[in-house]
């Protein structure tokens, strides 16, 4: 009887210690709240991507239809290069604070600039304001326009003279006569219609200002649209 009782007691202790060593055998292991948060909060980082747009070459300025383009008014276009002698004068001006000129000479004087291209729109006119010194009247004046067209660079001029013919040209120089000299002693406006010069769509890259004898003052230079109803001057 005692032997049987001891056998039951021994079996009971074996079963008890076996369960204590493996409390969740056959089931799922418990997960602590902290470990669960760490598992859900950890995600793979997303790599940032950046794109770079290749630098483009400076395109020629394309004015909107009907827009006025100021070429010179007190200052030259940004980035311009110059040739000849530019004398800025604050005593005589049509627009802004000053005009540009050169010292009087007996023959031709010329100063010019070159700049980034400006595309000349359709139905446009170049306006140039000029003052001729009444005490030292020039014998001739000329504007020469430098431009690019179909990949080629060229130049065309338009000029005025007094009673004496002072400008001499080669046969291959495209120069157009624009009439007699404007009145001296006051600001006059020269109008050059771009269609007449074949400049529509061309890229204007610079202008030269030429005075033959005497002294001229040049001020506002701009391109504007031909006004509605405005008539082109008759061909001479």
pLDDT of 85 over the 60 cut? yes
pLDDT of 46 over the 80 cut? no
pLDDT of 210 over the 60 cut? yes
Q: Tell me if 205 is assigned to some domain.
A: yes
Q: Domain range spanning residue 187?
A: 70-166+174-225
Contact yes or no for 181/138 (Cβ under 8 A):
yes
Radius of gyration of the chain (CA): 43
What is the model's pLDDT at position 209? 98
What is the model's pLDDT at position 35? 42
Spatial separation of the C-alpha atoms in residues 16 and 23, rounded to whole Å: 10
pLDDT of 219 over the 80 cut? yes
Q: Tell me if 23 is assigned to some domain.
A: no
The per-residue pLDDT for range 106-152, each reduced to its tens digit, is 999 999 999 999 999 988 999 999 999 999 999 999 999 999 987 78
Q: The whole model's pTM is what?
A: 0.70
C-alpha pair distances (Å), 77 with each of 140, 151, 197: 26, 22, 23
What is the model's pLDDT at position 57? 42
pLDDT of 205 over the 90 cut? yes
Q: Look at phi and psi of residue 117 and say left if phi exceeds 0, alpha if psi is from -120 to 50, else beta.
A: beta
Q: Tell me if 55 is assigned to some domain.
A: no
pLDDT of 232 over the 70 cut? no
Q: Tell me if 21 is assigned to some domain.
A: no
The per-residue pLDDT for range 150-187, each reduced to its tens digit, is 778 899 999 999 999 999 888 777 899 999 999 999 99
> Confidence band (pLDDT; 50, 70, 90) for 218?
very high
The per-residue pLDDT for range 1-17, each reduced to its tens digit, is 444 444 444 444 444 44
- Collect all residues with Cβ–Cβ distance below 8 Å to 29 and sequence separation of at least 6: none
C-alpha pair distances (Å), 19 with each of 24, 27, 31, 40, 71: 9, 13, 20, 32, 99
User: Which percentage of the chain shows pLDDT scores above 90?
Assistant: 56
Q: Tell me if 49 is assigned to some domain.
A: no
Q: Tell me if 87 is assigned to some domain.
A: yes
- From first CA to last CA, the distance across the chain in angstroms is 149
132 in helix, strand or coil?
strand
Q: Tell me if 31 is assigned to some domain.
A: no
Q: Tell me if 34 is assigned to some domain.
A: no
Domain count, the chain: 1
Spatial separation of the C-alpha atoms in residues 120 and 204, rounded to whole Å: 7
- Collect all residues with Cβ–Cβ distance below 8 Å to 133 and sequence separation of at least 6: 104, 184, 214, 215, 216, 217
24 in helix, strand or coil?
coil
> Confidence band (pLDDT; 50, 70, 90) for 61?
low
> Confidence band (pLDDT; 50, 70, 90) for 91?
very high
Spatial separation of the C-alpha atoms in residues 217 and 92, rounded to whole Å: 8
CATH, residue 127: 2.60.120.260
Spatial separation of the C-alpha atoms in residues 167 and 61, rounded to whole Å: 33
Spatial separation of the C-alpha atoms in residues 171 and 155, rounded to whole Å: 14
Residues in the chain: 236
């Amino acid at each position: 009887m005692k032997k049987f009782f001891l056998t039951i007691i021994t079996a009971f202790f074996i079963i008890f210690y076996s369960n204590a060593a493996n409390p969740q055998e056959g089931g799922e292991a418990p997960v602590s709240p902290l470990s669960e948060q760490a598992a859900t909060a950890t995600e793979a980082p997303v790599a940032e991507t950046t794109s770079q747009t290749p630098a483009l070459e400076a395109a020629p300025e394309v004015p909107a239809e009907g827009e006025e383009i100021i070429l010179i008014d007190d200052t030259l276009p940004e980035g311009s290069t110059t040739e000849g002698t530019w004398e800025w004068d604050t005593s005589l001006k049509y627009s802004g604070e000053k005009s540009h000129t050169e010292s009087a000479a007996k023959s031709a004087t010329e100063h010019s600039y070159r700049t980034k291209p400006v595309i000349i729109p359709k139905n446009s006119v170049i306006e140039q304001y000029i003052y001729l010194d009444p005490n030292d009247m020039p014998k001739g004046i000329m504007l020469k326009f430098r431009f690019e067209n179909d990949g080629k660079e060229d130049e065309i001029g338009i000029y005025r003279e007094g009673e004496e013919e002072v400008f001499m040209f080669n046969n291959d120089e495209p120069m157009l006569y624009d009439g007699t000299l404007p009145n001296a002693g006051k600001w006059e406006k020269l109008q050059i219609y771009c269609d007449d010069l074949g400049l529509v769509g061309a890229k204007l890259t610079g202008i030269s200002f030429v005075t033959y004898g005497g002294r001229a003052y040049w001020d506002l230079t701009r391109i504007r649209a031909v006004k509605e109803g405005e008539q082109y001057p008759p061909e001479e």
